[in-house]
C-alpha cells in the first residue's frame, strides 16, 4: 500500500509541474501580438478538438470488493451449484439465501425462484459469513465465516431445503484464524472416469462427436459417494473435513511445519491434484512469498465385503512436506536500463498491484498439450481516485495474471562417478531417485480491466475471467488466447464461444457461472440477484433458415450437453438459452443428442438379444433419460399440453419408471409362484397398478380413434406422410409407441408381474381371515379391476406389434445401425418406411378384421366404455378440459395418485398407530380426504404449518409429488424408505424443489 501511495504522490508532482508549464504558456500568449493560432497554419476558421470520450465509471463498491479479495482467498459471496441451485450471502453478511433455477410452467421462461433462508444457527453473530463453496456434484454447501468456522449443509432430496450437518471438530473461538483457501476432494466413482466430449465435426444434421474416456487420479474420499474437503487457515493449520459412511462428518488436522508467525500469515491458498491421489498446495503470505507443499491423506478405512456398507473409520493422517519457497512473487514491469551506461544492466520494477485471486490448475487430460500443474495468481491495480484533465492519459485499473508452472522430475542423489567403484553391488541407475519440484515463471498477461471472478472450466482446459467492466471472457489455458467466434470454420465446433455465443456487457460486483457457463448469477452490493445469459450473435435459431452457422450452433449446444451429461451436471441452463425453436430445429436438436451421447436405442429383433439390450436402457443408461427429458421439454407447453414428440418421450419415461418398480418388487419376492405380494408393499403399489391399467385404456382409446378416423375418412393411399400427418393432427401417437422397441418390450414385460399381483389382490381382499388384511389389499384389487376389458387383450396387441415389427426388420434385413436409426425416428414422432407395413396391419387387421387369426379387437371390447372412461389424470390429453382439471387437481407423478382436488386418494396402511392417524387425516394434509373431519381444526392445523410446503415440484417439467418426510402421518417407515429410493428425482430425471400449493386445487 505504501508503494501505491508513493506512486500517487509522484503523479501529483507531475500534475503540478504540468500546471506550471500551462501557466507559463498562457503568460507567453498574453504578452504576444494576439496572433490567432489557426492563422499560423493559413486557416482562419476555428477548429476545436473533439473531447475525449468519458472513461467508464467504476462499478459501485469496486474498491471495497478489491480489498476483500486482497485480504483473503476465501471471499466468494455467490455460488451456482452443479445441480442448479444458487446460494448467496446477504449484504449484511449474517444470512445465507438459496434460489433454485427453475422453469415457470405457465410462461415457459427460466428464472431463479424465490429466496429460501438457510437456518445457520448456532452461528456467532460476531463473525459475518465470507465465503460459499459447493461440492463437485452440488449436494453439499460449505459456508465459512470471518473467524474460520465452517458450516456444512446437505440438500437431499429437495434443492432448496438443506440440512446442517454437524461435525466432530474443534471450532476456533476468536477472530484471526480465518480460512484462506479450500478445496473439495473428488467423489467416487463420479469423478474418477469421465467421457470427454472434445469436438463435433460435420454439417447440417449429420455430425460426428469425438468422445474419449479418461481416468483421473485426483485426491479423493475412498468411500464411494462420500464428500470431503480440505482447507488452510491463516496461520498454517490444515484441516480435512470428511463424511463417514453413515453420512456424519468428522475432521482431521495438521500444520505446515512450525506455525506461521503472526507477522507473516498466509492471505491466499489453493490446492490442485498431483495426478497421483495426492494434493499440491500453493500458499501466499503477506511478504509476497509463494510456498509450495505436497499433502497426502492416509485413510484408515477397514476392508469391507462386496455389497456391504463401509464401517466407521478412524480419522485419516495428513502428511505435509514443503517443496519450495519463492520470494518476490508479484507482477513486475518490463526490464528497463538502470542508467549505468558501462554495464547496461537491466532491472524490473514492482507494479502497484495486490493479489486478489490464487488458483492452482492441475494438468489437463488433453494429450500432447504440454501443460504442467500451474499456479495462477491474479494481481489487480486499485481504482484510480485521482482526477486528471484531458491533457493526461488516465490509467484504467486492470489485472495482471502471473503464472508459475510446477515441474516435477526424478533426480538421482548419487554421482555417476560412483559406478567406477568396483566393490559396490548396484549401479547408480538402480538406486531410486527422489522427486524434485521446481517452479518456473511464465510470462505475465495483462488484462484490459479488473478481474472480479475467475473459473476454471471443462477439466481445467478453459479459463473464464469476469471483469469489472461487465465482460465475461473465455480463454484457452495453454495459449491464454481469447476464445472467439469462428464463422469461417463451421464444420468443426469445440465450444459455445466458438459457435457464436457470448455474454453481453453488464458490470457486476459478484458473479458466478452456471454449470454450463452459459448463464451467470450476478449480485451487486445491494444484494439483488439477477441472471445473465449468453446471446447467439448471428441471427436466430427459431427459424428453419438454412445456414451452416446455425447448424454449428446446434451442434455446439449438443456438445456442451454431452459434456454435462458425462459430468453429472444439470443441463437446465442450456435449455434456458436455446429460446424458441421451430419444429424442425427441435427434431434436429434431439437427433443430434442421440449422436452426441452415442445412444443406441435399438432393442434387437430376437429373444436372445432383446432382453439384454432393453435392460441396459431400463436401468443402466442415464443418457436415455436425459435425451427423453429434453424431447419432452422442447414440446411441452403449460403442464399437460404436449406435442407428439413430447408426448412420446413422456410416455416412455413413465413406462420406464413403472417397469423398474415392477421388476424390482417382483425380484424382492423371489419365487413369485410361491410368495404373494407382501402387505407392507401394497400401499405404494396401488397407484402404480392403477396407472398401468388406465394407461392400457388410454392406449386402446388412441389406437381405435386413429383407426376409425382412417376408416371413416379413408385416404387414397395410406402412405407414411398421410399417417404421420393424421397422428400429429390428432395428437395421438399410441401407434408409434407400439412400433418403438423399448416401450413395447417394457409393456410386454408387464404381463408376468401383473398376473402375480392380480392373483394376490383377489385372494387377500376377498378371502383373508382378518378384516385388517382385507382392508389393505382392497384398494389394490379395486385399482386392478376398473378396466372395462380384460387387460390381457392389450397384452395381445403388444405381442402382435412385436411380431409385425420383427417381421419388417427381418424382411428388410436391416443392420443394427439401420434399426437404431429407425428407433430414433420413432422417438422423434416419425414412422420409418420400413415399419409402415406393421403400422397398417395394427390399424386395420388387428382392430377391424374379424377374419384375423385371433379375431379383431373390436369384437372383444365395448368401445363405448373405453372412449368414455376418464383418464384425464394421466396427463396425456391436450384439451381445455384437461387444462381445467389440472388447474384444480395435483397428481403425484411418482406415486401415481391424485393428492389435491376432488377424488383425492389415500393410502391404506398396515394395522398400526399410523392407521389410526390416517383415519383422521383430511385431504388438505396431502394424503387423502375423509368425510366428516372438522374443517375448523384443519384450518388451525394448516395455519400452524404455514410456511412449510408439503409439495415438491420438478425444476424442469413442473410435475409434482408429495413432499414425504420421516414420521409423516399416513406413511409407514418402509413406505418412506421406498420413496426415498425411487423418487430421488422426477421421472424426467431432474431435481425437486419445494412447490407451492395451487390456489384452485383444494
- Return the higher-pLDDT residue of 930 and 293: 293
What's the pLDDT at 522?
97
pTM, full prediction: 0.87
Give the tens place of pLDDT for each residue, 479-500: 999 999 887 888 999 999 999 9
Structure-derived torsion over alpha carbons of residues 800, 805, 810, 814, reported in degrees to the nearest 10: -170
Q: Report H helices in 813-912.
A: 816-827, 836-843, 845-848, 863-867, 880-887
Lowest mean pLDDT among 144-153, 495-504, 733-742, 927-936: 927-936
Q: In Å, what is the CA distance from 320 to each residue of 216, 232, 292, 965, 969?
A: 22, 12, 10, 43, 52
330-356 average pLDDT score: 66
Residue spans of the domains in the chain: they are 180-190+225-233+264-303+311-333+350-382+396-412+433-469, 481-598, 603-873, 889-908+947-1001
Element containing residue 943 per DSSP (H, E)? helix 935-944
463 vs 636: CA distance, rounded Å = 35
C-alpha cell at 451: 478481474
Give the tens place of pLDDT for each residue, 198-223: 999 998 888 999 999 999 999 999 99
Give the total residue count for the chain: 1002
* Residue 884 confidence (pLDDT) above 50: yes
Lowest mean pLDDT among 333-347, 433-447, 603-617, 781-795: 333-347
What's the pLDDT at 419?
56
Q: Work out the number of other CB atoms within 10 angstroms of the CB of residue 195.
A: 16
Closest-CA residue to 242 (of 324, 172, 160, 310): 310
* Residue 815 confidence (pLDDT) above 50: yes
Note whether 679 and 673 are within 8 A (CB): no
What's the pLDDT at 39?
46
* Residue 49 confidence (pLDDT) above 60: no
Give the pLDDT band (50/70/90) at residue 706: very high
What's the pLDDT at 579?
85
What beta strand segments (E) does 413-471 contain? 434-446, 451-457, 462-467
632-640 average pLDDT score: 92
What's the pLDDT at 335?
57
Give the tens place of pLDDT for each residue, 921-939: 333 333 333 333 333 444 4
949 vs 198: CA distance, rounded Å = 43
Is there a cis peptide before residue 122, judged by omega within 30 degrees of 0? yes
169-193 average pLDDT score: 82
Number of helical H runs and strand E runs in the chain: 23, 44
Q: In Å, what is the CA distance from 11 to each residue of 22, 28, 54, 66?
A: 17, 26, 20, 22
C-alpha cell at 767: 378371502
C-alpha cell at 375: 499456479
404-429 average pLDDT score: 64
Cα Rg, the chain, nearest whole Å: 34
Rounded to 10°, the helix 836-843/791-812 angle is 150
Closest-CA residue to 59 (of 530, 526, 507): 507
How much of the chain, in percent, has pLDDT values that exceed 90? Answer: 63
Contacts of 901 (CB under 8 A, 6+ apart): 888, 889, 890, 1001, 1002
Closest-CA residue to 761 (of 894, 908, 951, 635): 908
Q: Backbone phi, then psi, for 241, in 5-degree steps?
A: -110, 135
What beta strand segments (E) does 137-205 contain? 140-145, 150-154, 163-165, 167-168, 179-184, 186-187, 193-203
What's the pLDDT at 913?
33
Note whether 474 and 497 are within 8 A (CB): yes
Concatenate the DSSP letters of all residues of 621-663 into one string: -HHHHHHHHHHHHHTEETTTEE-HHHHHHHHHHHHHHHHHHHH
957 vs 539: CA distance, rounded Å = 28
How much of the chain, in percent, has pLDDT values that exceed 70? Answer: 82
688-697 average pLDDT score: 97
What's the pLDDT at 635?
95
What's the pLDDT at 785?
93
C-alpha cell at 695: 394407461
Amino acid at each position: 500500500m505504501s508503494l501505491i501511495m508513493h506512486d500517487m504522490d509522484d503523479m501529483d508532482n507531475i500534475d503540478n509541474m504540468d500546471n506550471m508549464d500551462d501557466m507559463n504558456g498562457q503568460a507567453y500568449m498574453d504578452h504576444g501580438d494576439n496572433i490567432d493560432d489557426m492563422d499560423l497554419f493559413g486557416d482562419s476558421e476555428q477548429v476545436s478538438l473533439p473531447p475525449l470520450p468519458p472513461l467508464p465509471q467504476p462499478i459501485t463498491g469496486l474498491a471495497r470488493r478489491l480489498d476483500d479479495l486482497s485480504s483473503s482467498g476465501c471471499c466468494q459471496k455467490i455460488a451456482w451449484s452443479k445441480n442448479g441451485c444458487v446460494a448467496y450471502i446477504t449484504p449484511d453478511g449474517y444470512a445465507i439465501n438459496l434460489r433454485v433455477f427453475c422453469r415457470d410452467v405457465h410462461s415457459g421462461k427460466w428464472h431463479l425462484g424465490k429466496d429460501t433462508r438457510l437456518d445457520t444457527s448456532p452461528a456467532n453473530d460476531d463473525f459475518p459469513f465470507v465465503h460459499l463453496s459447493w461440492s463437485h456434484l452440488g449436494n453439499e454447501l460449505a459456508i465459512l465465516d470471518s473467524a474460520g468456522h465452517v458450516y456444512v449443509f446437505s440438500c437431499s432430496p429437495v434443492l432448496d431445503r438443506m440440512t446442517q450437518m454437524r461435525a466432530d471438530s474443534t471450532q476456533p473461538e476468536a477472530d484471526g484464524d480465518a480460512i484462506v483457501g479450500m478445496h473439495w476432494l473428488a467423489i467416487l466413482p463420479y469423478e474418477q472416469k469421465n467421457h470427454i466430449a472434445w469436438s463435433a465435426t460435420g454439417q447440417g444434421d449429420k455430425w460426428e462427436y469425438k468422445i474419449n474416456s479418461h481416468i483421473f487420479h485426483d485426491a479423493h474420499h475412498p468411500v464411494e459417494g462420500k464428500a470431503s474437503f480440505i482447507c488452510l487457515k491463516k496461520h498454517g493449520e490444515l484441516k480435512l473435513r470428511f463424511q463417514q459412511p453413515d453420512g456424519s462428518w468428522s475432521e482431521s488436522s495438521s500444520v505446515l511445519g512450525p506455525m506461521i508467525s503472526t507477522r507473516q500469515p498466509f492471505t491466499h491458498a489453493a490446492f490442485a491434484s498431483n495426478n497421483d491421489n495426492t494434493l499440491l498446495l500453493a500458499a501466499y503470505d503477506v511478504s509476497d512469498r509463494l510456498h509450495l507443499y505436497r499433502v497426502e491423506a492416509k485413510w484408515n478405512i477397514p476392508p469391507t465385503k462386496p455389497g456391504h456398507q463401509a464401517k466407521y473409520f478412524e480419522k485419516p493422517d495428513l502428511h505435509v512436506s514443503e517443496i519450495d519457497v519463492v520470494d518476490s512473487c508479484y507482477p513486475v514491469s518490463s526490464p528497463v536500463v538502470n542508467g549505468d551506461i558501462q554495464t547496461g544492466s537491466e532491472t524490473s520494477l514492482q507494479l502497484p498491484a495486490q493479489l486478489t485471486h490464487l488458483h492452482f490448475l492441475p494438468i489437463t487430460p488433453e494429450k500432447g498439450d504440454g501443460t504442467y500443474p500451474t499456479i495462477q495468481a491474479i494481481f489487480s491495480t486499485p481504482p484510480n481516485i485521482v482526477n486528471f484533465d484531458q491533457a493526461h492519459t488516465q490509467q484504467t485499473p486492470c489485472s495482471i495474471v502471473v503464472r508459475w508452472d510446477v515441474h516435477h522430475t526424478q533426480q538421482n542423489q548419487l554421482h555417476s562417478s560412483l559406478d567406477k567403484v568396483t566393490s559396490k553391488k548396484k549401479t547408480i541407475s538402480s538406486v531410486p531417485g527422489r522427486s524434485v519440484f521446481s517452479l518456473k515463471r511464465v510470462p505475465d498477461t495483462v488484462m484490459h480491466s479488473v478481474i472480479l471472478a475467475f473459473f476454471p472450466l471443462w477439466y481445467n482446459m478453459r479459463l473464464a475471467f469476469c471483469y469489472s467492466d461487465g465482460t465475461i471472457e473465455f480463454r484457452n489455458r495453454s495459449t491464454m488466447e481469447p476464445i472467439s467466434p469462428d464463422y469461417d470454420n463451421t464444420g468443426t465446433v469445440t465450444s459455445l464461444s466458438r459457435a457464436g455465443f457470448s455474454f453481453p456487457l453488464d458490470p457486476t460486483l459478484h458473479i458466478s457461472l452456471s454449470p454450463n457457463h452459459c448463464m451467470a448469477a450476478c449480485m451487486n452490493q445491494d444484494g439483488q440477484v439477477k441472471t445473465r445469459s449468453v446471446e447467439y450473435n448471428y441471427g436466430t435459431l427459431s427459424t428453419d433458415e438454412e445456414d451452416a452457422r446455425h447448424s454449428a450452433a446446434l451442434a455446439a449446444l449438443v456438445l456442451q450437453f454431452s459434456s454435462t451429461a458425462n459430468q453429472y451436471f444439470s443441463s437446465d441452463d442450456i435449455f434456458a438459452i436455446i429460446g424458441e425453436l421451430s419444429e424442425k430445429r427441435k427434431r434436429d436438436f434431439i437427433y443430434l443428442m442421440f449422436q452426441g451421447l452415442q445412444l443406441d436405442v435399438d432393442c434387437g429383433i430376437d429373444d436372445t438379444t432383446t432382453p439384454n439390450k432393453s435392460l441396459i436402457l431400463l436401468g443402466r443408461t442415464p443418457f436415455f433419460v436425459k435425451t427423453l427429458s429434453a424431447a419432452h421439454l422442447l414440446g411441452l407447453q403449460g403442464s399437460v399440453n404436449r406435442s407428439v414428440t413430447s408426448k412420446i418421450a413422456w410416455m416412455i419415461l413413465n413406462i420406464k419408471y413403472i417397469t423398474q418398480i415392477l421388476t424390482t418388487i417382483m425380484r424382492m419376492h423371489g419365487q413369485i409362484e410361491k410368495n404373494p405380494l407382501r402387505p407392507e408393499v401394497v400401499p405404494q403399489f396401488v397407484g402404480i397398478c392403477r396407472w398401468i391399467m388406465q394407461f392400457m385404456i388410454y392406449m386402446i382409446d388412441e389406437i381405435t380413434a386413429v383407426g376409425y378416423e382412417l376408416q371413416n375418412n379413408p385416404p387414397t393411399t395410406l402412405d407414411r406422410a398421410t399417417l404421420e400427418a393424421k397422428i400429429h393432427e390428432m395428437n395421438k401417437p399410441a401407434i408409434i409407441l407400439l412400433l418403438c422397441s423399448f416401450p413395447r418390450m417394457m409393456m410386454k414385460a408387464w404381463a408376468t408381474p401383473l398376473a402375480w399381483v392380480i392373483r394376490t389382490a383377489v385372494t387377500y381382499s376377498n378371502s383373508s381371515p382378518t378384516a385388517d388384511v382385507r382392508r389393505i389389499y382392497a384398494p389394490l384389487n379395486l385399482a386392478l379391476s376398473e378396466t372395462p376389458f380384460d387387460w390381457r387383450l392389450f397384452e395381445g396387441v403388444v405381442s402382435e406389434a412385436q411380431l409385425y415389427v420383427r417381421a419388417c426388420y427381418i424382411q428388410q434385413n436391416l443392420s443394427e445401425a439401420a434399426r437404431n436409426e429407425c428407433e430414433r425416428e420413432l422417438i422423434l414422432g416419425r414412422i420409418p418406411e420400413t415399419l409402415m407395413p406393421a403400422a397398417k396391419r395394427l390399424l386395420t387387421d388387428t382392430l377391424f378384421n374379424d377374419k384375423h387369426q385371433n379375431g379383431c379387437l373390436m369384437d372383444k371390447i365395448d368401445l363405448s366404455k373405453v372412449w368414455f372412461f376418464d383418464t384425464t389424470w394421466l396427463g396425456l390429453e391436450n384439451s381445455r378440459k384437461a387444462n381445467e382439471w389440472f388447474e384444480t387437481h395435483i397428481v403425484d407423478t411418482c406415486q401415481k395418485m391424485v393428492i389435491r382436488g376432488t377424488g383425492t386418494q389415500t393410502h391404506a396402511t398396515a394395522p398400526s398407530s399410523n392407521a389410526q392417524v390416517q383415519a383422521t387425516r383430511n385431504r388438505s394434509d396431502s394424503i387423502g380426504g375423509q368425510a366428516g373431519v372438522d374443517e375448523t381444526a384443519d384450518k388451525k392445523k394448516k395455519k400452524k404449518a404455514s410456511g412449510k410446503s408439503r409439495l415438491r415440484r420438478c425444476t424442469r417439467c413442473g410435475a409434482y409429488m408429495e413432499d414425504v418426510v420421516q414420521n409423516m402421518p399416513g406413511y409407514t417407515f418402509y413406505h418412506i424408505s421406498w420413496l426415498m429410493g425411487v423418487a430421488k428425482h422426477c421421472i424426467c430425471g431432474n431435481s425437486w424443489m419445494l412447490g407451492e400449493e395451487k390456489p384452485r386445487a383444494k
